[in-house]
Structure 1
Amino acid sequence: MLVGMNWILLSLVSATLLGVYDAAKKWSVQANAVPVVLLVCVSIGASLYLPLVLWSTFWADSIPLDRFVVRPLSWNEHGLIASKSVLVGASWTFAFSALKHLPLSIAAPIRATSPFWTIVIAILFFGERPAPLQWAGIGIVLIGFWRFTLVGRREGIRFTRNRWVAMMTMATLLGACSSIYDKWLLQKAGFDPVTMQAWFTIDLVPVMVPLAVWWYRFDAPVASAAGRAKGPSQPFQWRWSIALVSPLLILADWFYFVALSDPEALVSVVSVVRRSSVVIALGFGAKALSEANFRAKSACVAVILLGVVLLTWHG
């Protein structure tokens, strides 16, 4: 049924799911142990895909839709997928850690600048030369980002000195690299979406295990004589939002990968539409989390999205 759907429509569905995913992620990491949250999230994702991998391995002919068959891979192909898992794992570690300490209405717009970084990477490493409209888009994104620094100061967040802003920016930069790598894997290396996503999700588990082990060994709170947890970090608390993080991302990524696998799809446009999820995150931060300066942040988001549209106009 999805074969004939327009890749822009698929991107819009992905954006909606991604916005809800951002909200669930923020709710999960608040006053919680980030390394364990990450490991639980990726383990839930892997448990959802493992049955499909086993089904495809032993009874592939019984799967009703060919689109859902996970193909066997060579060791070299597994290495390519594992590289994506390491890249995304690093991005998630930075993003989850920053999201714990930043308002969602600050963190999500920083992530929305991902297409800007994609263009910057293309200029610096692939010799691309932006068109005049794209240069205008770069300037507008920078203006919007600068306006965000002014709004952030009202909440005591100085963008040039705040390590959580730096970590979210690094997560966004790594995410932009992942977007470029996704296009190569899907359109050049020949991976189909479900195979790429299934093995990437499973490979994330061993990527996240060392961080969780380090937290348990060196940073986990210990019980005091009074029975209360004491230590440099916060204890892990189970929340149902944690169970939603991976399913939401899997669905969002699946629609994204299917859209991106269309030969007519433009990665820059797909990336922009996907980043419109910031609108949902902004609304959730204002209504559910009672975050401040909603109107000022909304204006900044509008400027950033305008710049991002111009960045992709040439494509």
Structure 2
Amino acid sequence: MLVGMNWILLSIVSATLLGAYDAAKKWSVQGNAVPVVLLTTVSIGAVLYSPLVIWSTFWAETIPLDRLVVRSLSWKEHGLIAAKSVLVGASWTFAFSALKHLPLSIGAPIRATSPFWTILIAILFFGERPTPMQWLGIAVVLIGFWRFTLVGRREGIRFTRDRWVALMMAATLLGACSSIYDKWLLQRAGFDPVTMQAWFTIDLVPVMVPLALWWYRFDAPRGSLQDGGTAGEIGGRPAQPFRWRWSIALVSPLLILADWFYFVALSDPTALVSVVSVVRRSSVVIALGFGAKALSEANFRAKSLCVGVILLGVVLLTWNS
């Protein structure tokens, strides 16, 4: 059924799920212990993928679609996937921590500038030369980002000084590096999408365990895990307890589904990757709307204009790329 669906429709579904994923992340980390939220979400993702891995290992011939078969990997290939897990784990740690303190309507658009950073990294380190249209896109993204700094000041957020903005920028840069690495893994190293996604999701669990153990050893308020204890003081700063929310259970499934629809859309021989990428980035519109309505975040119209400028820049960046 999915194969026969229009790839643009599949891209829209992916963008919608990705926007919901951003909203679930924000809701999950508000007033919560980020390391435990991260470990919980990646563990849920690993649990969801484990049955498919086991099925592929012992009864691969009974899987109806070849694209669903998770291939066995050599130790070297596992090492390549583990490297991606470390890269993404660092990016997610920075992003979740920043999103806890930033409005969703600020954090999500920063993440939406990822194509800009991907192209910039390709220029600086891989000798790529943008087309005139891409140079125009870079300029438009920078203008949109500059406008965001002005809007952020109204809410007391100075982009050049705010450490949470710096963390979100670091997360976005690492995400851009991950995109370049993904391209290498899929096109040069020969991984298929479901194999890469399944093993990467499982490998994320051990990557996140040390951070969660560090939190439990040094930052966890005593009794917070057992009886919902309140935040105390550690080293002169508030210690944040972990609180279970059902949005935490949605984070990994939403991301897995969003990526799945994205991969299926790209598998269509008639699909234009430039259009699919732009549609996927439009997920920021959903995050913006959720922040304005559900979280009552301010300056909706001004932020909407900035998002529109950034998305226009992304369109130009990916045009005919």
TM > 0.5 fold call: yes
1:22-55 per-position Cα deviation (integer Å, ceiling 9, x unaligned): 0011000000000000000000000001111111
Q: Does 1:284 align with 2:281?
A: no
After TM superposition, the structure 1 = structure 2 runs for residues 54-73 of structure 1, keeping only pairs within 5 Å, are 54-73=54-73
Task: For residues 198-226 of structure 1, give each alpha carbon's deviation from its aligned partner in whole angstroms, at most 9, with x where no partner exists.
Answer: 101000000000100000011111259xx
Structure 1 residues not aligned, in runs of 5+: none
For the 8 Å contact 1:81–1:200, the answer to whether it is kept is: yes
Shift of 1:177: 1.2
The counterpart of 2:300, out of the listed 294, 297, 305, is 294
Give the superposition deviation at 1:100. Answer: 0.1
Contact 1:134–1:313, Cα closer than 8 Å, also in 2:
yes
* Per-residue deviation, 1:156: 0.3
Root-mean-square deviation over aligned CA pairs = 1.8
Structure 1 residue 258: deviation in Å? Answer: 3.4
- Listed one character per residue, the Cα deviations across residues 139-158 of structure 1 (whole Å, up to 9, x for unaligned) are 11111000000000000000
Question: Counterparts of 2:231 and 2:101 in 1: how far apart (Å)?
Answer: 21
> Residue 314 of structure 1: CA displacement?
3.8
Q: Aligned partner of 2:316: which letter?
A: L
Q: Deviations over 1:81-111 (max 9, x none)?
A: 1111111101000000000000000000000
Aligned residue among 237, 250, 253 for 1:247: 253
Aligned pair 1:113/2:113, yes or no?
yes
Conserved in 2, the CA contact under 8 Å of 1:151 and 1:297?
Answer: yes
2:32 aligned partner: 32
* Contact 2:221/2:230 (8 A) holds in 1: no
Q: Confirm or deny: 8 A CA contact 2:17 2:255 kept in the other structure.
A: yes
Match of 1:75, as an amino acid?
W
Q: Superposed, which structure 2 residues align to 1:177-256 within 5 Å?
A: 177-223=177-223, 228-231=230-233, 232-256=238-262
TM-score by length of 2: 0.92
1:222 match: secondary structure:
coil
**Contact in 2 for aligned 1:186/1:261 (Cα 8 Å):** no
Identify if the C-alpha distance between structure 1 residues 80 and 269 changes in structure 2 by more than 3 Å, giving closer, same or farther.
farther
Bigger Cα displacement from structure 2, 280-289 vs 49-58: 49-58
Taking every aligned residue pair, what percent have the same amino acid on both sides?
88
Q: Is the 8 A contact 2:231 2:239 kept in 1?
A: no
Displacement of 1:9 after TM fit? 3.9
Number of equivalenced pairs? 313
Give TM-score scaled by structure 1 length.
0.94
- The question of 1:258 aligning with 2:264 is answered yes
SS of residue paired to 1:289: coil
Cα distance change on mapping 1:266 and 1:173 into 2, 3 Å? farther
SS at match of 1:158: coil
Contact kept? 2:7, 2:271, Cα under 8 Å? yes
Q: Deviations over 1:59-94 (max 9, x none)?
A: 112222222111111111111111111111010000
Report 1:143-182 matches (<5 A).
Answer: 143-182=143-182
In structure 2, relative to structure 1, the CA distance for the partners of 1:9 and 1:186 (3 Å cut) is farther
CA contact (8 A) 1:22 1:281 kept: yes
Q: Supply the distance in 1 between the matched residues of 2:266 and 2:78 (Cα, whole angstroms).
A: 20
Return the letter of the residue paired with 1:306.
Answer: L
